[in-house]
Structure 1
Amino acid sequence: MFSGWLMPWHARQLRILTRNLRTQARYEYASRDDLDDNTYMRPAGLATPRQLVQYLDEFVIGQENAKKVLSVAVFNHYNRVRANLASLAGEQEATDWSEINGDDARSGVSTAQLHPHPHRLLPPSTLLQPRHPVSLFEKSNVLVIGPTGSGKTLLARTLARVLDVPFSVSDATSFTQAGYVGEDVDMAIQRLLQSANWDPQRASTGIVYIDEVDKIARKSGGTGMEGSRDVGGEGVQQALLRMMEGSTVTVQGKSGSVDPPAAAPEGRSRPGQRNPSPAAAAPRPDTYHIDTSNVLFILSGAFVGLDTVVKRRVAKGSIGFTANLSPKEDDSNSMKGFMPFFTPNRRSTQNVLEMVEPSDLVKYGFIPEFISRLPSITTLSPLTTADLRRILTEVRGSLVSQYTALFGYSGVEIRFTGAALNEICRKAAERGGGARGLRGIMETLLLEPMYEVPGSSIRYVLITEDVVLGKQPALYWTRGDGAAFWTAWAEEEALSEKNRG
């Protein structure tokens, strides 16, 4: 009857421990040794590099190597972010356990050690633990080199659509060193914070895309005074160094949007306000501190003239009758100070930029410390006529589909013959400018139809090869002449097939 009062102290402790064990989840877990070593559970919401490439293929034509480099960089980056955050959380948890009060442990009160269900998705760090744990993973920023209109910005924007992360685009041409007229490099982080809806935690794991980075190359042999500061070139590179590697950037928030309440005169209270709480009266902080250690930087530029630097390094000169001389440059490019406005789309047998090395970028005008922060370098090839044809008709949001939809808003149907599309691509290849050259040609070609059709009785428009060549104007049909329109289109297609055969 009184055995409960006479229970020894150890028995009471065992009873308390048993009570604590009832808080565990009632599952029988397989040991970690029973798990297959080859098992890998991908974290939810993170696409594989192959899936990212498949998504990019729907919008960007060609550039297979650049797609792989960017997809792998994004995938590895967010695996690093998860591992780094898990490592920091583990250190914090270990600190919390070391601070447990000894009196609580003796009293039998402790936190329940809940284990996750084995069928739930686990981060890869819990399944594939390295034998020697890594404290923190370093990130690999990416440098994309390619001619204008080859798809550098489109690749980054398309990746931003599929990734649920903050993404900001900045132009390096407006960057200057701190204290001079222009934008500071901190504006790139401020745009990232705006994209994250002013959430510092989300912004610290975003992607910063900086275009036209070749414009911040160090100027040499200028007309200014010797020893003058290059605030728009080398000064910007110095400012980007620590930010790319990882530092804390102080960003001013939404200035002017949150103003502190005006102080009321002493002895009077403002009408409609009684006993305002201190929390409601305190202004929202307008200064944010963003850690860029987990921010991925993607830099891109056309780098006009870099191919010449690579050719000088690759070509090995010698003397004698059997000397290997470097190929002579074109007269147009050998002129001192000449720089073409558009990059031609003619693809040579080998893309010289694919052989670029960090030493070439240093000779181009970048400081070695800046290039060392960009371990991943990829190049984009100029677009061929076949690539332009696919951009014109196949990809999502193609130019033909855009102009077809524009005419459809006016109740007009427009058709292009195959020969007309081929001629448009041929003109764009000669004009240069990549995919941007296609839009310029389409705007010029469809100027008259877009002027004449809205508000008229025209319901059908046909663009043939002669229309593209300027030999005749666009062909129009009114309502009820659909059969004649389709017959004319079929005849043009049959004629082009006959000429091709």
Structure 2
Amino acid sequence: MSQMTPREIVQELDKHIIGQADAKRAVAIALRNRWRRSQVSDDLKGEITPKNILMIGPTGVGKTEIARRLAKLANAPFVKIEATKFTEVGYVGRDVESIIRDLVEISVKLTREVEMNKVHFRAQEAAEERILDILLRPARSGFGSDGEPEPISEQAANTRQKFRKKLREGDLDDKEIEVELSVTPMGVEIMAPPGMEEMTSQLQGMFQNIGSTRTKTRKLPIKEAFKLLTDEEAGKLLNEEDIKMRAVQNVEENGIVFLDEMDKICKRGESSGPDVSREGVQRDLLPLVEGCTVTTKYGMLKTDHILFIASGAFHLSKPSDLIPELQGRLPIRVELKALSVDDFVRILTEPDASLTEQYTALLATEGVELGFSEDGIARIAEVAWQVNERTDNIGARRLHTVMERLLDEISFTAADQSGQTVSVDAAYVDSHIGELAQDEDLSRYIL
């Protein structure tokens, strides 16, 4: 669990997301409240529920990115889902409980990685011994008449140490050896209709458990064999039941669900009759958000303390169009602002691994030095903002489109221009995409 203060969380988010201070504060407080809850007495802990968040704002302003970066900071199980993919229980389509099942699968993977890292050193030592046993006489040659292991001769021990040194220094990386690796039984691919994912995964698990684990001899370079043997030895050191139990607990205490496109499941107008993909989905989401028990293949899981972050543009609908019960379960409302030209300039230069850095690094692999001047970056930002204003506003995603079009020619010919320097200034931008930006019909299709 992250022990970062809200101020530290916001500072980390600032490295990747420009602006949207209110949204960053809201998610930082929500994450810090996780830690605060873990510090209170057990009697009170069960009563403190997470304050779920509803982020409202146009597309491309950072809603999804904020949630994604937050999950990385928290090192918590995180799943992003589109609310439009789900239908009411009883109809063809995914039911909302599959959200929690997906979250548990992610948590199991995370927990296994953490446990693998803990035993990594021991697994490496065991893998090293197995490789040395293949290269040399085994460390123990057998048992004596009294049943005790025979001691290794001093010469054999010295030889083994020399080979161990060579192995660790990488001198034997390219040497090929034959290793016996355990082979996981082949899974059976089962095609099932939407909504039957849980039954399908259980059937696949059942077929995988039929038959014992076999071994297969493979001829591999030592470097590759060492990695595979380390993974195999680490797997032997893990307690699978313990991993599953911790994974479920991790979801219950730290899970984050990001519900995107919430505005698309609002009921519009005064239409009568059931609405399978809108109000019905909201009613199915309600038990998850307010707390219920979901059955997964790893056991029963309570959703009482999972944090839900919902988001939507709400162009054609408004948050009050959600059913009242669901509105009450999303108490924190945050409005994200549309991006300005200045925001676009900052997006191009300030974040870690900004767009300009990415393109510069990509072309550097071809030997082309790409440079962006201040007036060039300002002109790119201006063009992106103008196109957003005249056509559909897709926020910062427009910068990707503009940059791809701007650097299309140099990207195509970079291999032939190795050693050259390309400077992207305002004149370069105008000569390559100036006409497209001015022509509304062309920019609608190309930019």
TM-score, normalised to structure 1's length?
0.55
Q: CA deviation at 1:301?
A: 0.9
Contact conserved, 2:267 with 2:322, CA < 8 A, in 1? yes
Q: 2:386 aligns with which of 421, 425, 430?
A: 430
Residues 70-219 of structure 1 mapped to structure 2, 5 A cutoff = 70-81=27-38, 83=40, 86-87=41-42, 136-197=47-108, 199-205=247-253, 206-219=255-268
Tell me how far 1:194 sits from its aligned partner: 1.6
C-alpha distance in structure 1 between counterparts of 2:85 and 2:11, whole Å: 34
For 1:235 and 1:162, locate their aligned partners in 2 and report how far apart those are by CA, in whole Å. 34
Quote the offset at 1:305 in angstroms: 3.6
Of 324, 328, 334 in structure 2, the residue corresponding to residue 368 of structure 1 is 324
- Percent identity among equivalent residues? 39
**Who is 2:299 aligned against?**
288
Distance 2:261 2:370 in 1: 37
In structure 2, the gaps of 5 or more residues are 109-243, 389-393, 435-447
Does the C-alpha gap of structure 1 residues 471 and 75 become closer, same or farther in structure 2, counting only changes over 3 Å? Answer: closer
Check whether the contact 2:51–2:331 (CA below 8 A) recurs between aligned residues.
Answer: yes
Structure 1 residues 45 and 214, CA, compared in 2 at 3 Å: closer, same or farther?
Answer: closer
Compute the displacement of 1:160 (Å): 1.2
Output the CA distance in 2 between the equivalents of 1:66 and 1:192. 23
Cα deviation digits, residues 318-359 of structure 1 (max 9, x gap): xxxxxxxxxxxxxxxxxxxxxxxxxxxxxxxxxxxxxxxxxx
SS of match in other structure, 1:454 = helix
Distance in 1 between residues matched to 2:46 and 2:349, nearest whole Å:
49
1:300 to 2:311 alignment: yes
Larger radius of gyration between Structure 1 and Structure 2: 1
CA distance in 1, matches of 2:427, 2:265: 45
Equivalent position SS for 2:420: strand
CA contact (8 A) 1:146 1:382 kept: yes
**Is 1:81–1:294's contact at 8 Å kept on the other side of the alignment?**
no
Aligned partner of residue 462 in structure 1, secondary structure: strand
Give the counterpart of 2:10 among 53, 65, 86.
Answer: 53
Aligned-residue CA RMSD (Å): 2.1
Identify if the C-alpha distance between structure 1 residues 462 and 472 changes in structure 2 by more than 3 Å, giving closer, same or farther: farther
Local SS of the residue matching 2:84: helix
Distance in 2 of aligned mates of 1:395 and 1:134: 37
Amino acid at match of 1:408: A
CA 1:142–1:471 in 2, change beyond 3 Å: closer, same or farther?
closer
What displacement does 1:77 show? 3.2
User: Hey, what's the Cα distance between the residues in 2 that align with 1:45 and 1:244?
Assistant: 23
Separation of aligned partners in 2, 1:187 and 1:144: 23
Output the CA distance in 2 between the equivalents of 1:68 and 1:139: 15
Q: Which has the higher contact order (CA 8 A, sep 6+)?
A: 2
Paired residue type of 2:23 = A
Cα offset, 1:458, TM superposition: 5.1
CA deviation map 1:361-385 (0-9, x unaligned): 22xx211011000111111011111
Separation in structure 2 between the aligned mates of residue 161 and residue 472 of structure 1, nearest angstrom: 37
> What residue identity is the alignment partner of 1:288?
G
**Superposed structure 1 runs of 4+ greater than 3 Å apart:** 455-458
When residues 50 and 471 of structure 1 are mapped into structure 2, their CA distance, relative to the original with a 3 A threshold, is closer
Runs (5+) with no aligned partner, structure 1: 1-43, 89-132, 252-285, 307-359, 474-501
Matched position secondary structure for 1:196: helix
Deviation at 1:471, TM superposition (A): 6.2
**Does residue 247 of structure 1 match 2:320?**
no
Distance 1:471 1:62 in 2: 29
**Alignment length (residue pairs):** 291
Q: Is the 8 A contact 1:415 1:463 kept in 2?
A: yes
| Superposed displacement of residue 249, structure 1 | 1.1
Instruction: Calculate the TM-score normalised by the size of structure 2.
Output: 0.62
- The structure richer in helix per residue is 2
**Contact 1:80–1:139 (CA under 8 A) maintained in structure 2:** no
| Pair 1:213–1:159, CA change in 2 (3 A) | same
The one of 265, 273, 277 equivalent to 1:232 is: 277
The 1-side partners of 2:63 and 2:4 are apart by 21
Task: Work out the CA distance in 2 between the residues paired with 1:57 and 1:472.
Answer: 30
CA separation in 2, counterparts of 1:215 and 1:463?
Answer: 40
Q: 1:427 Cα deviation (Å)?
A: 1.0
- Is 1:69–2:118 an aligned residue pair? no
Paired letter, 2:86: F
Q: 3-state SS of the aligned residue for 2:353?
A: coil
1:445 and 2:406 are equivalent in the alignment: yes
Pairing partner for 1:386 from 311, 336, 342: 342
Distance 1:49 1:173, change over 3 A: same
Aligned partner of residue 381 in structure 1, secondary structure: coil
